[in-house]
Amino acid sequence: MSGLPTRSTLLPGANVPNSQRQVPRQPSGRAVHQASRYGRFASAKTASSAAFTLVELLVVIAIIAILIALLLPAVQSAREAARRMQCTNNQRQIALAVISYESTHGRLPPSGLVGEYDDPDLGFGSCDPLSGKMIGWMVLILPEMEETNLYQQFDLKRSILRQPTNPQAQHIASFQCPSDASEERYFEHPKLTQGVRFAKGNYAAFVSPFHTDEQVWFPGALGGGQWDETGDNRVGQKLTRIKDGTSKTLLLSEVRTRANPLDHRGAWALPWTASSVLAFDLHPIPVFDGNSRITGDRLLPYKPWMYTIDGAQVPNNRGFNVDILYDCPEPEEAQLSGMPCETWAGFGEQGEAFYLSAAPRSQHAGGVVAAGLDGHVRFLQDDIDPVMMAYLISINDGKSDEINVD
């Protein structure tokens, strides 16, 4: 067993005498103090380098704010694009409903079930939207909009102010543009509606390149037509009267609403100006000779009178001509909100607004969405040529070859 290594030979220094072994030196008190000091300094330095200073925190916040400022317009733009697309789809659906109505009834819907008013001593006013049943064209197309249940609640033999279940107070999603807040707004007037409530929407049909009350003589898509045998209701015009072609004739566009319940703009069940109908107010030439019309020929081609071009109701019009309403409440606030208006002078109000016209208006930047009588939807810029727009509204101007519908 002498050849095997022993424990003493395997351990270093095992055979070294105790007197010769080196004992490890213990650190002195000063060295321990210095090590502790430098350790605390290193730990503090490490902790301070891991935390944010106030300046660094402010820089981070500023960077985040800048990024939000850059991204927010893009998000808002994307949302508005989606709202505008929904508005486009709504107008296409309404236009197709009008086309379906014409296929069923052989005529376009009238602007409204109103009575005849044609004073031979008055140059203006062959159509009075305040007369008759006052049921608007949007009520008549409800079956084509898959709103048959709502349509059946209307009694077309009664005035719109005497409907038993008040169906006119219901909001319809397809009649509303998401860019506006019409889904929460109503029209209710102590005199005009006798306290009856009307829901608001955002679309209206063009009835004349001239005035609403002159839609019989100078019709747009839903103007023209004739009174029935009773003289109390209007029936729409036939499609053959659209001499300029359906693709070159505007059918409808947008209107804005106000939260003020006395402002009737957007009240979709009423055939009133800026409620569900629009008139462009570019006068035809010639129109009058004294107090009498020069001609009663309703097929006379529309020719715009350039002298009146500044009063045309172009999209989002902010010129001297304003929306003429049966009541314009708080006109200063309306002006500030981009919806200028004036009260119709036919009620004895002071002023010269004995006519009815209004501009298409929207919350979209730079213009309004509009649909043609063929279902084609386009965007009309605020700075559109007024004469071109008048030709698009008129049904018999003979200028269809000069109009680009793209």
- Does the pLDDT at position 41 exceed 60? no
Whole-structure pTM value: 0.80
> Is 90 exceeded by the pLDDT of residue 265?
yes
Distance of CA 250 to the CA centre of its chain: 17
Residue 277, SS3 per DSSP = strand
Higher-pLDDT residue of 175 and 230 is 175
| pLDDT surpassing 90 at residue 287 | no
Count Cα neighbours of 158 within 13 Å in the Cβ-side half-sphere: 13
CB 202 within 8 A of CB 212: no
Q: What is the mean pLDDT of residues 339-345?
A: 94
Residue 231 CB coordination number (10 Å): 10
Mean pLDDT of 88-115: 95
CA atoms of 138 and 145, how far apart (whole Å): 10
Q: What is the mean pLDDT of residues 301-330?
A: 94
Residue given tokens 């213009």 in the structure block: 367
pLDDT of residue 301: 80
pLDDT in tens, 57-78: 888 889 898 888 887 777 767 7
Task: Look at residue 127 and give its three-state secondary structure.
Answer: strand
For residue range 245-263, what is the model confidence (pLDDT) as tens digits?
Answer: 999 999 999 999 999 999 9
376 vs 392: CA distance, rounded Å: 13
Question: In 245-327, which ranges are continuous DSSP H helix?
Answer: none
Query: What's the chain's average pLDDT?
Result: 84
How far apart are alpha carbons 164 and 157 in whole angstroms?
12
Tell me what pLDDT residue 288 has.
Answer: 52
- Stretch 325-347: mean pLDDT, rounded? 94
Q: Which of 165-174, 183-192, 199-208, 296-305 has the lowest mean pLDDT?
A: 296-305
Instruction: Summarize pLDDT for 115-133 with one digit per residue, the tens.
Output: 766 554 444 556 889 988 9
**pLDDT classification of 156: cutoffs 50, 70, 90:** very high
What are the pLDDT digits (tens) for 291-309?
Answer: 444 444 455 688 999 999 9
Output phi, psi for 54, to 5 deg.
Answer: -60, -40
Encoding tokens for residue 262?
Answer: 């006395």
Q: So what's the pLDDT on residue 390?
A: 96
